[in-house]
């Protein structure tokens, strides 16, 4: 059994930030199922939203967030996060993150603007902000003597009071599969933090990496945590449409810098859908593209920024320019073919302002958590900000808590399982799940489609749980188990919302109710 003061499951921006803020006073373990920098944070192109100039204000950033969130953002949480934005960015600058500077300036940082923002307030590192931030923090994590990084390890489940025969709702650590040695290890921890990201891989088309399988949300639910707002799955309007470009995102900042959405004949269409046109929030733009594609029987639409000078595009969007050029698309001279793709999980495990869940000593931060910030639709570039603010909040709470003795935890019991006879069951179920979630629980929904999805999920649940009980666990099986549970929570939440709001649009309930209420699901069996 391994013992640590704090166990962090996940190595995105939230997890790395928390580890660095704890490590001078604690022994910290980071469990990550691939390499340290393989999560969704490193894929973030846009940047971090924070008020940093005299012509901007906290109230404007708050208002933009609340507007995008379609009335469902928690006002207290929103102010809590926005007020801490400048300090969060300053901390990253102190760590050495190479943010882009304004042209001709050696000191001022370049701020960009994205859909839903009334001001330029997004600090960025060209069009690869997440990569720059993760590399900077990752180097510090690997160099810190009090941080143990367990790569190629995937969490199996949390060790809660119920599993130890206790009645208390408390977390004592986790079972973790060491993929390289094919063994399940027991990790005891005073505090356990889920920072596992979102659930993009529940859908057929997503901008997320393969690691985004809803692990923390599913583990939290099984441990007895409430889950909220899972119907609000954000589809990014502009994912590159190309047979050889898997999950490549075209940043919202392209529209922020003047990119125009057009039909194949060159006609702009966003002004007909919203007065903010290309700068409308993501849910509006994604629905407009979905409408135009279905109306015209189109495979994609086009994002045109060719009116900007080539030098400007190479400076501001070097990654996008190079990737498109490698695929035969010169964005300085031709439009970019784009389609919507699942991008961000706005809901998750319910937490408070200290990142605490319903289970004692169990925290959730980043995309895994539902803090109330995003409401019914996340405002662009608020996600990395949320990671930073709540990692700091969790660190403050954890360091203020008294230490307690480690429990003697049981080893993982494999005495009654055998090797799987047919692994094709896992791959087939994974493919089926992602396809029907895309078809039935996508950008536009109906009650009938949701019920069809729910029926299929119940069948998959039974098959996968039987598989889990009888065979040795594998990484693929664990991810599929978590994805199916997460899909069930998405559908349950969608069926319970009898209105259209933000990212959830139902043909059966097209109106928006006068009072905005969060969807909160509570597990029947508490930890």
C-alpha span between 116 and 127 (Å, rounded): 19
3-class secondary-structure state, position 494:
helix
Residue 337: phi, psi to the nearest 5?
-70, 130
Go through the domains of the chain in sequence order and give each one's CATH number: 237-341 (3.90.700.10), 424-510 (1.20.58.100)
C-alpha span between 88 and 410 (Å, rounded): 40
| 294-308 residue pLDDT tens | 899 998 999 999 999
Element (H, E) at 369: strand 369-370
Overall average pLDDT of the 56-83 stretch: 97
Q: Of the residues 113, 222, 255, 282, which is catalytic? A: 282
pLDDT of 26 > 80? The answer is yes
| 150-179 residue pLDDT tens | 999 999 999 998 877 787 889 999 999 999
Residue 117: phi, psi to the nearest 5?
-95, 135
Contacts of 447 (CB under 8 A, 6+ apart): 495, 506, 508
- The CA dihedral of 488, 490, 493, 499, to the nearest 10 degrees, is -140
Please give the order of strands across the beta sheet that includes 122-123: 48-49, 122-123, 111-112
CA-atom Rg of the chain in angstroms:
22
CB 45 within 8 A of CB 129: yes
| 232-244 residue pLDDT tens | 999 989 999 998 8
C-alpha span between 8 and 225 (Å, rounded): 17
pLDDT of 527 > 60? The answer is no
3-class secondary-structure state, position 142:
helix
C-alpha span between 369 and 197 (Å, rounded): 8
* DSSP-assigned letters across all residues of 295-353: HHT-S-EEEE-TTS-HHHHHHH-HHHHHHHHHTT--TTTSPEEEEEEEEEE--EEE--T
CB 488 within 8 A of CB 461: yes
- Buried b / exposed e over 167-203, threshold 16 CB at 10 Å, is eebbbbbbbbbebeeeebbbbbbbbbbbbbbbbbbbb
Structure tokens at 284: 């509006």
Query: Cα dist. 243→263, 285, 299, 337 in Å?
Result: 20, 23, 12, 11
Exposed, middle or buried, 360 (CB in 10 Å: 0-12/13-18/19+)?
middle
pLDDT-derived band at 107, boundaries 50, 70, 90: low
| 196-254 residue pLDDT tens | 999 999 998 898 888 999 999 999 999 999 999 999 999 989 999 998 877 788 988 89
Overall average pLDDT of the 478-488 stretch: 97
CB 49 within 8 A of CB 381: yes
Residue 336: phi, psi to the nearest 5?
-100, 125
The closest alpha carbon to 155, from 338, 364, 454, 401, belongs to: 364
Say whether 282 is catalytic.
yes
CA 110 centroid distance within chain: 25
Q: Mean pLDDT of all residues in the chain?
A: 93
């Amino acid at each position: 059994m391994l013992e640590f003061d704090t166990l962090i499951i996940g190595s995105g921006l939230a997890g790395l930030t928390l580890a660095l803020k704890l490590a001078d006073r604690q022994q910290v373990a980071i469990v990550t199922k691939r390499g340290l920098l393989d999560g969704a944070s490193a894929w973030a192109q846009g940047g971090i939203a924070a008020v940093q100039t005299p012509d901007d204000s906290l109230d404007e950033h708050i208002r933009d967030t609340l507007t995008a969130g379609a009335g469902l953002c928690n006002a207290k949480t929103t102010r809590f996060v926005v007020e801490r934005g400048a300090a969060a960015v300053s901390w990253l600058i102190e760590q050495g993150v190479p943010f882009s500077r304004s042209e001709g300036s050696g000191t001022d940082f370049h701020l960009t603007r994205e859909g839903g923002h009334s001001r330029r307030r997004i600090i960025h590192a060209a069009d690869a902000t997440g990569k720059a931030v993760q590399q900077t923090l990752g180097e510090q994590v690997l160099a810190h003597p009090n941080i143990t990084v367990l790569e190629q390890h995937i969490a199996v489940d949390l060790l809660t009071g119920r599993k130890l025969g206790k009645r208390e709702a408390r977390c004592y650590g986790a079972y973790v599969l060491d993929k390289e040695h094919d063994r399940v290890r027991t990790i005891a921890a005073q505090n356990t933090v889920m920072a596992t990201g979102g659930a993009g891989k529940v859908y057929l088309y997503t901008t997320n990496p393969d690691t985004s399988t809803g692990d923390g949300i599913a583990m939290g639910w099984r441990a007895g945590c409430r889950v909220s707002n899972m119907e609000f799955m954000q589809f990014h309007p502009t994912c590159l449409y190309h047979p050889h470009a898997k999950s490549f995102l075209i940043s919202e900042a392209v529209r922020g810098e003047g990119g125009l959405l057009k039909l194949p004949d060159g006609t702009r269409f966003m002004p007909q859908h919203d007065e903010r046109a290309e700068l409308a929030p993501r849910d509006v733009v994604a629905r407009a593209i979905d409408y135009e594609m279905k109306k015209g029987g189109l495979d994609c639409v086009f994002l045109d920024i060719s009116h900007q000078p080539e030098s400007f595009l190479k400076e501001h969007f070097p990654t996008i320019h190079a990737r498109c050029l490698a695929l035969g698309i010169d964005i300085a001279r031709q439009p970019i073919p784009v389609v919507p793709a699942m991008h961000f999980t706005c809901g998750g495990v319910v937490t408070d302002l200290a990142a605490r869940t319903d289970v004692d000593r169990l925290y959730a931060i980043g995309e895994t958590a539902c803090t109330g910030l995003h409401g019914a639709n996340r405002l662009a570039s608020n996600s990395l900000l949320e990671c930073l603010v709540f990692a700091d909040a969790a660190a403050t709470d954890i360091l203020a808590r008294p230490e307690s003795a480690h429990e003697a935890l049981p080893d993982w019991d494999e005495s009654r399982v055998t090797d799987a006879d047919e692994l094709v069951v896992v791959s087939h179920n994974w493919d089926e799940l992602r396809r029907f979630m895309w078809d039935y629980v996508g950008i536009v929904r109906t009650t009938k489609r949701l019920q069809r999805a729910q029926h299929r999920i119940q069948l998959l649940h039974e098959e996968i749980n039987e598989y889990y009980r009888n065979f040795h666990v594998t990484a693929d099986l664990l991810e599929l188990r978590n994805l199916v549970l997460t899909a069930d929570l998405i559908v349950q939440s969608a069926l319970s919302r009898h209105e259209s709001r933000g990212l959830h649009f139902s043909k059966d309930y097209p109106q928006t109710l006068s009072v905005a209420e969060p969807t909160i699901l509570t597990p029947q069996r508490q930890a």
